[in-house]
Structure 1
């Protein structure tokens, strides 16, 4: 069996190894399934490919081997404390080694900041597209669904004075 973790759960963490992908049968006909092994509990299971992509993420080469990129202390079970392997960054040096001093830690932090800066730039480019601007403007201009329901409810007949519904204000 595979003993090396290839994925981790986005919310709960943990070590998982993707075993294979296959087509579902009977009730799951037409769906792609993923078989995986939970290395912490030593259990093999399967889920749909869509669920796999939504809830699990692959472990990058520079993810911390202790916390698997979460930055939280998973060994002692104290999720409020930073990981001792990566000092809460979730990342380690390019050679997968833990930073030994503050300068090595700073290099790792700079890498994290640069990746975040690139992602932010990419998102800004997407938001600047005219099609996206139209969608944003349309969403800002339309009233939320609950406002329309509330206005209809307040205007409808009821038990208050003058036949209007008593709303308390």
Structure 2
């Protein structure tokens, strides 16, 4: 089935982690889930796959440390510290099954936000050629250009509003 990643912007960590167990894609006022500016992806993890897009956008070398993240949910300070604590977790614990929320660095946001529209097709082409996408067929429907444009646009709006980017992920 795969892992779903939802990239969104929020003013701060408190806003980003409201109702963390719920998807960011669907606002639900009855459950207290606000409407987020979100881009929904599958298999586009923040460190490796998105990290390579950030490297291409910033015209820098890719490394695993390029997109710095901070884990916000489940809260790291409550994470089990021993095998016994891990074994004692209930089956539905977010530490075992998720979802999870990460904050992405302002530097990653700014590298994506710096891309102008003229560079989008070339950037999407570079990104589509990474090893992690090698099992997909040719991008004849323009999905990669659209996804690249959506992620760059989200980063631009985040920077414009002095927000950071966040990633909500779920199995």
Higher RCO (Cα < 8 Å, 6 or more apart): 2
When normalised by structure 2's length, the TM-score is 0.24
The structure that has the greater radius of gyration is 1
